[in-house]
Structure 1
Amino acid sequence: MEFMASLVNILALISEACRSAEKLPAALITGGVVEAAAAIFVGVFKAPGGIFQHHGKAPFYLYYGITGGVAIFGFAEAWAGFWVSGDLNGRRAVGKTILWVSILPLVLVAALGGFVFMT
């Protein structure tokens, strides 16, 4: 239950960052680290299933390419949080754009089974 509470807190931080510039770096850093950790967790501990099986090698490599790409994007998002904190007023638009774009990789990890382990 503690994991669900922390996940709700992270989501609340992200929604507050859209309204308040001071919370944007923290939302980027936290969201990026969680996204990268979820992608690495899925890539290491969850074997490819569904469409990624029995269709040759390309979907198999695609699965690990997606998880690796999301992990890299998560680390880049966390780095962007540190970058945005350097000049909050001048880089706010870039930070908010990265925060909105980060929803797609998070959905990809969730679709691949990243949140199956929550229960």
Structure 2
Amino acid sequence: MELMAVIIRILALIPDAYRNAEKLPVALITGGAVEAVAAIFLAFFKAPGGLFEHHGKAPFYLYYGILGFVAVFGFAEATAGFWVSGDLAERRAVGKTFLWVSILPLVLVAAFGGFVFMR
């Protein structure tokens, strides 16, 4: 399955998780795993291009720094999904907050690598 199709399916899980607390851990674990794997894949197999090219070393390091942050955040999000599933009634607010914040890393992964996979 293409990366963009996977990201669209994960983005569809987010509103369902807000309405139904039982789907919250699934959305956190799935979203975090896809974010982390996609960021690691992009870091190893896609060189920086566009704005990150021909402007010195700072944008080059920024590209890999952003991907590293997204990978760490993805692992933290998946871990939070397992943690939230332990006591859903008490930890639902933390899970929802984590899920809301996770939209930005998903968009970053899609922006950095999504259009490459559509060719």
Amino acid paired to 2:99: L
Residue 30 of structure 2 aligns with which residue?
30
Identity of aligned residues (%): 77
Stretch moving more, 34-43 or 23-32: 34-43
Rounded Cα–Cα distance in structure 2 between residues aligned with 1:26 and 1:81: 7
Structure 1: segments with no counterpart, 5+ residues: none
The number of residue pairs the alignment matches comes to 118
Residue 116 of structure 2 aligns with which residue?
116
Residue 58 of structure 1 aligns with which residue?
58
Q: How does 1:1-119 map to 2 (within 5 A)?
A: 2-3=1-2, 7-119=7-119
Q: Could you list the per-position Cα deviations for residues 10-33 of structure 1 after superposition, in whole angstroms to 9, with x for gaps in the alignment?
A: 333222101011110011000000
Rounded Cα–Cα distance in structure 1 between residues aligned with 2:106 and 2:115: 10
Paired residues of 1:40 and 1:71 also in contact (CA < 8 A): yes
**RMSD, matched Cα:** 1.7
> Larger relative contact order (C-alpha < 8 A, sep ≥ 6)?
2
**1:72: how far off?**
0.5
TM-score scaled to structure 1, two decimals? 0.89
Query: Could you say if the C-alpha distance between residues 36 and 66 of structure 1 is closer, same or farther in structure 2, counting changes exceeding 3 Å?
Result: same
Structure 2: segments with no counterpart, 5+ residues: none
Rounded Cα–Cα distance in structure 2 between residues aligned with 1:43 and 1:65: 10
